[in-house]
Every structure is written in structure tokens, then in C-alpha cells.
A and B are shown apart, each in its own frame.
Chain A
Amino acid sequence: MLALLPPLIVLCPLAAATILLLSAGRMPPPAARVLAAGAVGLAAALTLWLAVLFLSAPPPTYRLDVVLWHWMRVGGFDARIAFTLDPLSLVMMLVVTGVGFLIHLYACGYMRGDPDVARFFACMTLFVAAMLVLVLSSDLLCLYIGWEGVGLCSYLLIGFWYAEAANGAAARKAFIVTRIGDAALLCGLLLLATRIGGLDIATLLQPGHLGGGPVAEAAAALLLGGALAKSAQVPFQVWLPDAMAGPTPVSALIHAATMVTAGVYLIARLHPLFLAAPTVMAATAVLGLVTLLLAAGSALAQTDIKRILAFSTISQLGYMFLALGTGAWGAAIFHLVTHAIFKALLFMAAGAVILRVHHQQDIFRMGGLGRAMPGVFAAFAAGAAALAGLPLVTAGFYSKEAILQQAWHAAPLLWAGALLGAFLTALYISRCLLIVFLGPVRTAPTGRTEASMAIPLAGLSVLALTGGLIEMPNAIAPVHLLFRLLAPVLGPPTAEDAEGGAGLLLAGALAPLAGIAVAWGLWRPRAGAIAPADDGLARGARAGWGFDAIYGLLLVRPFLALGWLNRRDLFDRVPDLLAAATRWGARLLGRMQDGRVRRYAGWIAAGTVAALCLAVRP
């Protein structure tokens, strides 16, 4: 039974995607909605059942391999399509299907009235299926299928409203930037395959196989490149803010349940490989910290509500990479889970707001929405509190606390940076909350928020506030459900017996409170117009610190110049030569077929002579 469930769970969204794709848009929208949400809901229910079965009677080594079939066997290389069920993949599955289902439910309401709803849900369900393959596969090659699958689906969904050129450009940008990382990942996989002779994760991570030295460092660095691009970390973070071009449920799905968490999952899954490469670990931590601070700074200057949340995602992923870089695998996964919950909540609440104010996304044209939509306000507030890490009562507090403690033990400098990040996080999300929901009304909202959108908001609000209780620091209460669960995969938890927990805890609790207080001082509701800051620093931050401009100057322009130089397709000349030779040869041979019987007889005779010569005197 246990072995049957994982393939079935993958099959649910995959089958829905296939049916929706094959229907070619002819399926009536209600049927498409029911099919998509039902399939992902079924997957979520099955995952829940699987979790119950797994936890009540775990396999001996907390690991269950389900081999579906052998993909290829070449020499000693053996690639399988196989799934591994262990606590890590179980947690990821719960996140992907659970949050994914709520997002699908929400999308049923959000996408009402869109003519292309079948295509939308086909891509969404395919997205979920690809992510499930990614987290379940026991072979890196199989994982790569899911990896590319989420890349493809993100492209399709970001450019969902393809009629506008900007959306297509954003989709291409996301695809190309993640493509660079994919190439690095593929190189890493090939390196591992040639060095170790296989890509099965279990054999790959056996201590004897790894060794250390430059090969492990190179492989880890290449894998890190792939993870950085997929998870939108510096220097690959540029695609994520533009990815807001897609519909809001897509943003929620990309930011919360799928896609960007893939990089974090990959590193956590392959953590022994990274332990053998200390340089790469350090680079991961530093890049995570840099991303965290840069993105938080950018979020502080944005005026578009979805872009605020996008930069916030990059920043929170920076926390996860910081945790990974310091070896706190469990803390990273914990933050991944809580972030998936509260970020999905924030995006969906933002989407509800956007729908009610006629697709207005500029926060300085909103205001005072709290009175008109108290439910959405409460949900957004819950998400914002979790994101800011409001002490004790939110999920984000506990997961961020775990990371901060680990950072302190790795290097106090990292801890200081992360604490600054926590302050900035509270500052920018409070700014957003204060400007959008309080103060004078600038755009009058209309309509009502549908039940199918309200239910996921309510459910996620509860989870965002209480989800952190599964894992607490010793100083508050010795609850370590998640770390104990993950221990068979990620090793025994280290953060729980850290010393000096109470002092660090206090500092970590005060930073968000300080951020909220400062935000209140700066943007509290008051009479008169408020406008975004417009000095040089704010402009730089709003533009994402100019990464786009630098890449445009360093990469895009030279590439376009190369394209201009090659506008007559110089490199096509070589294949053209081949084509010309073929055409010439064909003409020559074609002249043999001129319909003259005597020539045919002559050719037959010549062939006979040749065959005889070959047969008699070889």
C-alpha cells in the first residue's frame, strides 16, 4: 500500500494536466476547474493518508524505494525512474500538494471569467506534478526531469497572458535565467555521473563514494549554480520580480509550493555532498546573506504590491540559503515550510485585494481597505505577521529563530546580517500593510471576495499563525517534532542544544518589533497625501539595485551585437554546404532515373559486375 501511493499521488495532477491539455481548450471552464482542483485535492488527501501510514508504521530505515522502471542501462550507468519516500520528501509532498491544493481552490475563484481557464489549469496541474517528481525521485536524472518540468511550467504560466509583449518578455527572462542554472546543474550531474558512474542519490551519498577535494567542490559548486538560479538568489535573482507578470495564483504557486523551493530542496537532499565542499558551503551562506539584505532593501522601496512580495520571497529564500550554508538543513526546510504557508497566504490576499480594486497594484493608490474588506485584511495581517516573525504567535518567528541561532553558532557576522534582515523584513511588510489597509481610502473597492478564495485564506491564516508550534527553541518549550522527523535524512538536529539560546531569542524577537515600530513612525495613517521616497537610494533599490541594467550592459547588449553581426547566419553556411552537396548528389542520382530501359539495364549489369567481383574475389 505504502509503495503504491507515491506514484498515484504523482499521477493525479499529471492525469488532470494530460486531460486538460488534450481537451485543447474545449472543456467548459466549470469542468476544468473541478478537474484541476479535484485532482490536486485528491493528491493532497492521498498525501495526508500516506503521511499517516508512514508515521504510524515507518519502514525500518525511514526510507521506501519504489522503482517504476529502468530508464536506460548503458554500460555501468543505470538510470531508473524511481521514487524514494522518506521524511524529507514526505514533508515536501505535504507542502506541494497541501498548499498547491489551496492555491488551486483559490484560482477557481480568481480565474473566473478567463476564457483560457483550461490551459491555465493544465499548466498549474502539470507544475504540481513536475514538482512532485522533483521531490520524490531517487535518481538525479529523474529529478532533472522534474527540475526542467517546473522550469517549463513557470515559463508557460508567467507568460499566460501572452497577448501583452511584456508578459512574454518576463516569461522568456525567467526561462533563460533559470536555464543558465539548469546548464550548470546538468554539468554537475554529468560530472557526478562520470566520476561515480551513476546518479542514484543513495549511492551518491554513501560516504565512501564522495571523497573530497576539487571534484567534490566543483560538483557542489555546479549544483549550487543550478539551485541559485532556480531559487532566485544573487546573482540570478533578476527573473523573480518580473515573474509577477503571471496571474496571482501562479505567483503564489511559484513562490510558495513549487519552483523556488526546488533549489533549497536540492541542497538539503544532497547535503553530504555539500559538507564535503566547505568552500561552497561558505559561498552559499554568504550569497544567501547578500541576497537577503539586497532583496529586503529592494522590497522597502517598491510601490507594486506584488513586487514587494516578490522581493520578500527572494529575501526569505536568502534566509534558507543562509541556513543551508551554515549546515542547518532542518532549519532551512522548516523555514521552507512556514514560508510556503505565509507567502501563499500573502499572495492570495494580495490577489484578492487586486481583484477588488480593479487590478490596481500600486500601493500608493490603495489605502483604507481594512474597513471594506476586514476578512482579507485579517488574512494579510496574519501573513505579514508571520513574515515579519512576530514573536511567539507566528510560524515565521520559530523558523527564523532556528536559522538565526544556527547563524550565530556559525559566524556572529552572519547572525548580525540576518538580524538586520529580520528588522528590514518587519519594516517593509509593515509599510505595505499600513499603506494598503489603513489611512484614507484612495480607490474604492467593489464586489465581494468569493468563498472559494476566502476558504484558502482562512485555512492558511490559521496555519501561518500556528504552524510554527511543531518546532520550538529549547528556551520556550522543548518541542522538536519536525527536526526529529527529518533526523533520518538530515542527521540529528544541532540547534536544539545550542547554548545561550535565551539571549539570542530575545534579540531575534526584538528585531521585528523594532521594525514594526519604525514603520509605524514612518507610515502611520495620517492626513494628507503620501508618496514613495524618490531619492537616488530609493530609485536604486526600486530597480533591484541595478542588476538588470548591469546584465543588460554586460550580457544582453553584447549578445544582441553578436546577433546583429551574425544577421546573415554565417554559421548556417556549413549546414547549407551540406544541403547543397546533398541536393547536388540527389540531382546526380536522379539523372539515373530517366525512364530509359537500356540505361536501367546498364546499371543492373554494372551492379551485377560489382557484386560478382565482391562475391568472388573479396
Chain B
Amino acid sequence: MTANLPFLLSALVAVWATFMVVTRAVAIHALLYLVVALLALACVFDVLGAPFAAILEVIVYAGAIMVLFVFVVMMLNLGRPDSLRENTWIAPRIWIGPGLLAALLLAALADALVMAAPGGGRIAVIDTRQVGLALYGPYVLMVELASFLLLAGLVSAFRIGRHIRDEDAP
């Protein structure tokens, strides 16, 4: 039970933080909770024997992507009216349908994944070296595809963003 404690703690934090993300009305609060959730997930990854994934989660997700979000939130220049509007948008009664659907999905997923999952074994740490060998061995084509994807994302973000500047200029 003691060995399981870090996992349980991080999982609890992750779920709680995620719930807070979904329910916040102020964007920057939600963003900070999301960072918390991601950090907790990084802990979970470490417990599960994936240190490389944990490090990447912190650096790329909690670091880079979240900074992107923060930049955007800053550019949006949100204020008090926006938070108030958010509060009207997340009135209690519109939670019923989606909540029911999400609960159903959770039940179905838990039924499918957890009940059918094979029993646990000893946790073996899979270190960076193994991941790197797999990445540049059998998965090298996927790495290329991922690079294409990122390039495409870069180009389209650049293109879409340039329009804003052009329109703002005059």
C-alpha cells in the first residue's frame, strides 16, 4: 500500500486539477490548474516507469504548450466581463446532459479497459535509451511523419497568424 501511495496521490491531484480546469470561469486560473494536472500526470508517468515521458511532459507540455496558451490568453486581453459571461455560460443546468454522457463514457471505458485489462506485473523502468532505440529503429518512419505534421502546423499557424498582422496594419 505504501508503494502505491505516490501513484494514488498524483492521480488524485490530476483528477482534481482537471476538474477544476473544466469548471473555472477565469481563463488563466484554468490554465494554471491545467499545468498542475500536467505536472501530476508527469509524476504518474514516473511512477509507471516512464521517466523519459515524465520529463517530456514537464518540458514540452507544461513548459512549451502551456506557455503558448498563456501568450494567447494575454493577447486576448480578457477581463472581468469575460469571466462573468463564462459564469453565465456554465450555468448548472447545462451540465446535466454532457455530465450524463461523460459518465456513460467513463462507465463504458472502465468496463472495456479496466475489467478486461490483464493483471499487473512488476514495474520495470524503461529508460531513455530504450525509447530512443525504438524511436530511431522501427518507428523512424513515424518520426518523419511527426516532423511533417509539425511542419504543417508551423506553416498553417504562420499563415493564419500573418493575416491578423496584415489586417491590423491599416
Contacts and interface: CB of A to CB of B under 8 A. Distances in A.
Direct touching of A and B (C-beta under 8 Å): yes
A599 to B, nearest CB: 10
Interface in A595-618: 602, 605-606, 608-609, 612-613, 615-617
B108 A613 contact: yes
A612 B112 contact: yes
Interface stretch (B52-60, B68-76, B98-106, B160-168): B98-106
B105 A609 contact: yes
Nearest to B97: A602
Contacts of A613: 108
B108 A616 contact: yes
A606 B100 CA distance: 10
A605 B106 CA distance: 11
Interface residues of A, number: 10
B101 A606 contact: yes
A609 B112 contact: no
The dominant DSSP class at the B interface is helix
Contact of B112 (A602, A605, A606, A615): A615
Contacts, number: 25
A613 B101 CA distance: 13
B102 to A, nearest CB: 8
Interface string B95-119: 0011001101100110110001000
Contacts of B109: 612
A545 B20 CA distance: 99
Majority secondary structure of chain A interface residues (helix, strand, loop or mixed): helix
B101 A617 contact: no
A617 to B, nearest CB: 7
Contact of A616 (B98, B101, B111): B111
A600 to B, nearest CB: 13
Contacts of B111: 612, 616-617
Interface string A29-40: 000000000000
Contacts of A609: 101, 104-105, 108
A616 B105 contact: no
A613 B111 CA distance: 9
B104 A616 contact: no
Contact of B101 (A605, A612, A615): A605
Given A602-B101, A609-B101, 4 more contacts: A602-B97, A605-B102, A615-B112, A617-B111
Nearest first, the 5 A-B pairs at minimum CB distance are A612-B108, A616-B112, A609-B104, A609-B108, A609-B105
Interface of A: 602, 605-606, 608-609, 612-613, 615-617
25 contacts: A602-B97, A602-B98, A602-B101, A605-B101, A605-B102, A605-B105, A606-B101, A608-B105, A608-B108, A609-B101, A609-B104, A609-B105, A609-B108, A612-B105, A612-B108, A612-B109, A612-B111, A612-B112, A613-B108, A615-B112, A616-B108, A616-B111, A616-B112, A616-B116, A617-B111
Interface of B: 97-98, 101-102, 104-105, 108-109, 111-112, 116
